[in-house]
Amino acid sequence: MAEILFDEIPSLDLNDFTSDNADDKQEFVKRLGEAYNNIGFVSIKNHGLSDALVSRLYNTIEAFFKLPDDIKRKYEKTQLFGQRGYISKGKEKAKGRNTGDLKEFFHVGQPDDNKPDNYPSNIWPEEIEDFQQTTSEAFRTLQAAGVQMLRAIALYLKLPENYFDDKVAKGNSILRPIHYFPIENPDEIPDDAVRAAEHGDINLITLLMGASADGLQVLRRDGKWIPITALPDQIVVNVGDMMERLTNHKLKSTVHRVVNPPREMMHTSRYSIPFFLHPISEMDLTCLDNCIDENHPKDFEDILAGDFLQQRLQEIGLKN
């Protein structure tokens, strides 16, 4: 397939895949595969998130991040290596970098009634009354949309449509509300400090609802950074490193970043809420046979998803 250089990420309608119209479904799979084979990102509408839920979610996480730092740190459990609860400012860094990102965030995992015993339980801030209910509802909604996206990916890869279903039903997925905190004096931060340095995501796919401000950029194949924008009723869905490994580079985990705003806007906050769809730890990420041929030799060592996750947690500074 000839490489396509997108000037913006393609927009698709998830209803085309979930409808009973076979032609619409086939066209969705084709366009999704084309996008993921080239740039690794698409924007999706009819994903299941209502405007009311998105509004409640942003109000809830903004209320949490406005709490004093000593209150927020009550919910930071270092023994969990950032898997659940609060992760304080500057703790995470992009792979290969020494400077921490200019952000703080909170991790919500599988609801406790659905998680395997070896996953940690969720942590809920008692100061924010609706935090558990609202984030859990968003988690389940994005999980359902993610399953549909994975079914489309499976068909594109000529796998059974439900290939990923049992691998993600109780997966180690994460809802991550992020606060890119204000910088009152930009001269006091390291010269290379940014909101989120260039990186690829760890997981199978990421679902991202619209952020509260601009800044997200994706690195195109020709080395050009392009802004990622989606309409208010859309979410952005991108390929993660686990999917790229599984497909031996057929689907691209594209490098992306969140750049700092202009200096005069550094004192403002930015909020973002990605959902990282992870499989169970036991999923085998060995490259699929039908993604290996003479022109595309196997490029990754065999590894389980759980082992790969632990490696990456160390690389980004969340685990020693």
Q: Residues 275, 177: contact at Cβ < 8 Å?
A: no
Instruction: Output the pLDDT for position 213.
Output: 63
Instruction: Output the pLDDT for position 100.
Output: 87
- CA 20-275-54 angle, to 5 degrees, is 80
CA distance 308 to 320: 15
Instruction: Output the pLDDT for position 197.
Output: 84
| Ramachandran quadrant class, 158 (left: phi over 0; alpha: psi -120 to 50; beta: rest) | left
Q: Residues 107, 203: contact at Cβ < 8 Å?
A: no
Share of residues in the chain with pLDDT > 70 (%):
96
Place of tokens 């890869």: 157
Q: Residues 120, 80: contact at Cβ < 8 Å?
A: yes
List alpha helices for the chain, DSSP H.
Answer: 14-18, 22-38, 51-65, 69-72, 131-156, 165-168, 241-246, 305-315
Instruction: Output the pLDDT for position 1.
Output: 44
Tokens of 17: 């895949």
Instruction: Output the pLDDT for position 315.
Output: 80
List alpha helices for 94-226, DSSP H.
Answer: 131-156, 165-168
pTM over 0.85: yes
| 53 CB-near residues (< 8 Å, 6+ apart) | 134, 137, 138, 141
> What's the topology of domain 11-315?
Jelly Rolls (2.60.120)
Instruction: Output the pLDDT for position 235.
Output: 94
Instruction: Output the pLDDT for position 5.
Output: 62
| 224 CB-near residues (< 8 Å, 6+ apart) | none
Mean pLDDT for each consecutive 10-residue tract of the chain (320 residues)? 65 95 97 91 94 95 97 94 91 83 95 88 96 97 98 98 97 96 88 87 92 80 83 90 96 90 90 95 96 95 94 76
Instruction: Output the pLDDT for position 4.
Output: 60
User: Helix, strand, or coil here: 188?
Assistant: helix
Q: Residues 95, 316: contact at Cβ < 8 Å?
A: yes
Q: Domain segments of the chain: what residues?
A: 11-315
Tokens of 287: 């490259």
User: CB count, 10 Å around CB of 169?
Assistant: 13
Place of tokens 């119209």: 21
- Tens-digit pLDDT profile for residues 108-119: 999 988 888 888
